[in-house]
Structure 1
Amino acid sequence: MDVLADVLAALRVGTPVAAYTEAHAPWGLRFDHVTGAAFHVVLQGSCRLTPLPGGAVFEPVELGPGDVALLGRGVPHALESAPGTPLVDFRPTRPSPGTPFGRVSLPGAGTRSTIVCGAYRLHRHRPHPLLRDLPDVVHLPAVPGRHPSLRALVQLLGDELESRPPGAAVVAPSLVDALLVYMLRAWLHETARPHGWSAALADPVTAPALAAIHGEPAHAWTVEQLGAAAGLSRAAFARRFTAVVGEPPLAYLTRWRMTLATRLLRDTDKPLGQVASAIGYGSAFAFAKAFRREFATTPGEYRRATLADSREPPPG
């Protein structure tokens, strides 16, 4: 079971948006209405990533050619050619309303920089530990020999968006879609911690238990069964899972089931009884009760609210 792919499939909402940005110094762009996870890929030139007043506080990051930055929480931020440059709102032009790819042009007499700026809309009701563990800014510098797959993807994406060859409208969305996976892979590879989601996917105890939960979320798992999958006793397994993941095994199972429920309510018209069965509840009533306990709303109210949200314009 590919747990990372399963998590991302459940968290992603709609399609990502992006814009090819060409800016000539001096310039500054303000990103203060990101509703998902923002990302920036510097293709040429350089810029400075800085926090905006009133938002999360992080140290400014200098970005150079090939550098990638992921702001998993979508915190308000700015890109600027130099400190103190006046900022303008990021407002890409699009060929038609609803088109996920646009362009931004900032004319000037100074040095030229080209950047791909975009965002992924993510489901944030009771965030998954993957999102909880992400720092405000993940900076992946372009170091030779480091994350070659990510570097190759960045090059392909830049070529498609800059030159717009025939078929770019089909290829570019797929590349942006894959970019999130490559950024998270790189972050997980570089994050060596004894606790948290990055540790959980590699831990010999928690990884098989997570694979079991994600592989059969409707199964009536017990702590003993999950511990057996990891080769530990009930008590030893529960302690290890809680320490690494940050919550007990059955609490995570409930969290994941509710995450799947929100996806089914959002993306399908399945009756509540079918949604309940798909995630391991014996009746629509039992499911609705558990759902209300987690989200303080009913499944029907949630479905109607997400349908209204889907009609909003995409982020960025």
Structure 2
Amino acid sequence: MHGDLLSEALAAVTTAPALSVNVYASAPWGSRFGGRGGYGFHVVVRGSCWLLHKGADPILLQPGDVVLVPSGEVHTLADPLDTEPVDLVANDRIGRVVVGGYGAETVLLSGAYRMEHGGRHPLLANLPDLVHLRDHGQHRLHTVVGLLSAEIEDSSPGNAAVVGALVDALLIYILRTWYEGRPTGWTAAMNDPAIGSTLHRIHSTPAEPWTVDRLAREAGLARATFTRRFTALVGEPPLTYLTRWRMITAARLLRREPKPLAAIGRQVGYNSEFAFAKAFKREYGLAPGEYRRNRSQSMKSRMGVGN
């Protein structure tokens, strides 16, 4: 994939450290997950269980299977299938949870990525409601799983930082595995020399006064050919994507940096604060200042600060 577009897209919409726990479940057990947004994930480390999701047929998960729920919707894991589920409660962001009775044991690595408007990026919006990867011997993916499971059980200095890095890597490997098996759409866009380089330019310099003519020229294509290819692969025209990426970048800056609104607007290509506010509200439904206040309060609530 050209550059690091997948990492850039994820970094732009990830809002907080992920929750990650080892779940030790002994039959009979049933745990309900999701319902709070974000991307839920599960990896079956040992044993097996059933996945129930959105009224679809139950899916038997076996060792090595990986599940990602980009919709963040409620779903259930259970063994046996007809066990009445209860909400899984994790008291810490990193740790272990023990559930169930005294029967056959299933060990899971489960958690959730906290995402802000993840579906607004086309690369992530194209994900299905449920990503299920069977164990096909993806060595790197399962190496990360093994390291992460072991680190969650550890309390050595630097543990939180190591777990955070491994959880971030896990999501990259899940998505990489998913997209590499589907050589169309965004995979094709990122691997296309002209379109991939264009996406990298937009991502790295969103404040540049890009025009279709200039992007086409930099890509080495005629304007019509460039526009047609970009739209077909990315799913929207070049300037529509440019505006979207500018707003995604602006939202990240508003969440993380205390700069004046006008300064953030300039960082994403708007010399007029009014024009920036108008474009941002069209994308997020809130003015930039209101968005910042809301996200700041939300973060304080997650940390147990304030009312």
Instruction: Work out whether residues 95 and 152 of structure 2, in 8 Å CA contact, stay in contact via their aligned partners in 1.
Output: no
2:82 maps to which residue? 84
Offset, 1:285? 2.0
Q: Deviations over 1:10-58 (max 9, x none)?
A: 110011011211010111101142320000011111111111xxxx454
Question: Which residue of the partner structure matches residue 255 of structure 2?
Answer: 266
Match of 1:2?
4
Task: Point out the more displaced range, 112-121 or 292-301.
Answer: 292-301
Residue in 2 that maps onto 1:166: 156
- CA deviations 1:110-168 (Å, max 9, x no partner) are 11111111000111176111221111111122223xx2111111111122224x26344
Task: Show the counterpart of 2:203.
Answer: 214
Asked if the contact 2:39–2:69 (Cα under 8 Å) also holds between the matched residues in 1, the reply is: yes
How many angstroms apart in 2 are the aligned matches of 1:135 and 1:86? 27
In structure 2, give the amino acid aligned to 1:203.
Answer: D
| Aligned residue identity for 1:2 | D
Matched, 1:250 2:216: no
**1:85-100 map, 5 Å:** 85-94=83-92, 100=93
Could you tell me whether the CA contact under 8 Å between 2:66 and 2:134 is conserved in 1? yes
How many angstroms apart in 2 are the aligned matches of 1:59 and 1:232? 47
Alignment of 1:285 with 2:274, yes or no, is yes
Match of 1:97 in 2: none
Distance in 2 between residues matched to 1:165 and 1:19, nearest whole Å: 13
Q: Select the residue among 158, 179, 184 that pairs with 1:188.
A: 179
CA-to-partner distance for each residue in 1:153-207, whole Å, 9 max, x for gaps? 1111122224x263444422221122111111111111222x3x23321223321
Offset of residue 8 of structure 1: 1.1
Closer/same/farther in 2, CA of residues 26 and 62 from structure 1, 3 Å limit: same
Aligned pair count? 300
**What amino acid is aligned across from residue 166 of structure 1 in structure 2?**
S
> 1:35 matched to which residue of 2?
37
TM-score with structure 2 setting the length: 0.92
SS of the equivalent of 2:301 reads: coil
- Could you say if the C-alpha distance between residues 198 and 73 of structure 1 is closer, same or farther in structure 2, counting changes exceeding 3 Å? farther
Q: In 2, Cα distance between the equivalents of 1:84 and 1:5?
A: 39
Q: CA deviation at 1:268?
A: 0.9
Q: Is the deviation greater in 128-137 or in 56-65?
A: 56-65
Q: C-alpha distance in 2, partners of 1:107/1:286?
A: 56
Structure-2 residue corresponding to 1:119: 112
Contact 2:35–2:74 at 8 Å: present in 1 too? yes
Q: Aligned-residue CA RMSD in angstroms?
A: 1.8
CA contact (8 A) 1:34 1:119 kept: no
State the one-letter code of the partner of 1:227: A
Residues in 1 aligned to 2:47 and 2:278: alpha-carbon distance in whole angstroms: 54
**CA separation in 2, counterparts of 1:258 and 1:169?**
31
Evaluate the alpha carbon distance shift between residue 281 and residue 149 of structure 1 in structure 2; reply closer, same or farther with a 3 A threshold: same
Q: How far apart are residue 286 of structure 1 and its match?
A: 2.0
1:292 positional shift: 2.4
| Aligned residues with identical type, % of pairs | 45
Shift in alpha-carbon separation, 1:93–1:265, aligned structure 2, 3 A: closer
Task: Tell me how far apart the structure 2 counterparts of residues 57 and 82 of structure 1 sit (CA, whole Å).
Answer: 17
- The alignment partner of 1:116 has SS state of strand
Query: Aligned residue for 2:52?
Result: 50
**Could you say which residue in structure 2 is the equivalent of 1:229?**
218
Q: Distance in 2 between matches of 1:125 and 1:74?
A: 11
Q: In the alignment, is the contact (CA less than 8 A) between 1:25 and 1:109 conserved in 2?
A: yes
**Is the contact made by 1:205 and 1:240 (CA closer than 8 Å) also made in structure 2?**
no
| Structure 2 unaligned regions, length at least 5 | none
The correspondence for 1:308, drawn from 297, 304, 307, is: 297
Aligned residue in 2 for 1:238: 227
Q: 1:73 offset after TM fit, Å?
A: 1.5
How far apart are the structure 2 equivalents of 1:126 and 1:119? 16
**Cα distance change of structure 1 residues 254 and 57 upon mapping to structure 2, 3 Å threshold:** farther
Give the alignment's TM-score, normalised by structure 1. Answer: 0.89
Question: What letter corresponds to residue 70 of structure 2 in structure 1?
Answer: G
Structure 1 residues not aligned, in runs of 5+: 95-99
